[in-house]
Chains A and B, each alone.
Chain A
Amino acid sequence: KAGVTQTPRYLIKTRGQQVTLSCSPISGHRSVSWYQQTPGQGLQFLFEYFSETQRNKGNFPGRFSGRQFSNSRSEMNVSTLELGDSALYLCASRIGAGNTEAFFGQGTRLTVV
C-alpha cells in the first residue's frame, strides 16, 4: 500500500513568484492536512481538508491557500513568495475526521531566493 506522496521533493523559487505543491494521500484516506516546518518555528499547522472542504486553518497569511479534489488529492499554493517562506512543507493523511493517526509524506523542500 503506497504511502503519502508529495511532489515535487525540491523547489527553488524567486521572491514574488507563486508555487503549487501537491499531495496524494494514502489510498482510502479522505483527510489531508498541511504543515510548515522551519528550524525556528518547528512544525506549524497550515490547514486541513476533508471531503473537499477546508475544516480548519492555522495562523498563516492569505497568501497560503489550498484545495482538495474529489479523489482526495490536495494542493497548496503560496503566492507572492517571501524569503521567510523557505521551509519543508509536509502533508499528512488521515483515514477520516476525528482523532485518528496522521501519516506524513516526505515533504517538499521549498527554497525562496
Chain B
Amino acid sequence: GQQLNQSPQSMFIQEGEDVSMNCTSSSIFNTWLWYKQDPGEGPVLLIALYKAGELTSNGRLTAQFGITRKDSFLNISASIPSDVGIYFCAGQLAGGTSYGKLTFGQGTILTVHP
C-alpha cells in the first residue's frame, strides 16, 4: 500500500489566496515529484526535487524537499480558477528494490472559487 501521507485531502479556497499542501513518510526518499491531474487525464509533472533542502519554483508554484528526506511541501501563490484539480506528491524510495517505482500520496483536491 501507499507509504506517503498527503494533506490536506481537500481544500476550498477563494481566488487569489495562497495554498499549501504537504507529504510525509516514515521512509527516506531520493526524489520528490509534484503532479497535477485534471479529470480523465494523466498527471502532469509540476516540479521535481532531488536534494534534501532543495527549494524549487515554477511560476506561482514553489516546492521543497525536506531536510530529513521524509517530507515535501508544495505552495501555490495567488490561486486562479485553472489551479483546480488534484495534486499528487510522489517519491522514489532510497534503495535498489524501488528502482523506477514512484510511490504516490492520496492526493489533494483543490477547488478555487472565483
A interface list, Cβ under 8 A from B: 4, 6, 31, 33, 35, 41-43, 45, 48, 50, 55-56, 58, 90, 92, 94, 97, 99, 101-107, 109
Contacts of B44 in A (CB 8 A): 104
B101 touches A48 (CB 8 A): yes
Q: Which of B14-22, B53-61, B77-85, B92-100 is the interface stretch? A: B92-100
- Nearest CB on A from B94, distance (A): 10
Q: Mark B35-65, 1 if CB is under 8 A from A, else 0.
A: 1000011111100101000000000000000
What secondary structure prevails in chain A residues at the interface with B? strand
| A42-B106, A99-B50 known; A107 vs B101 contact (CB < 8 Å) | no
B41 touches A56 (CB 8 A): no
Chain A's closest residue to B104 (CB) is: A43
Q: How many residue pairs between the two chains, A and B, have CB atoms under 8 Å in the bound complex? A: 66
B interface list, Cβ under 8 A from A: 1-2, 30-31, 33, 35, 40-45, 48, 50, 88, 90, 92, 97-107
| A90-B42, A101-B33 known; A42 vs B104 contact (CB < 8 Å) | yes
| A99-B30, A101-B45, A107-B42 known; A31 vs B100 contact (CB < 8 Å) | yes
Contacts of B2 in A (CB 8 A): 41-42
A105 touches B42 (CB 8 A): yes
A45 touches B40 (CB 8 A): no
Chain A's closest residue to B101 (CB) is: A45
Contacts of B31 in A (CB 8 A): 99
| A42-B2, A45-B102, A99-B31 known; A56 vs B97 contact (CB < 8 Å) | yes
A-B pairs with the 4 shortest C-beta distances?
Answer: A48-B100, A104-B42, A43-B104, A99-B31
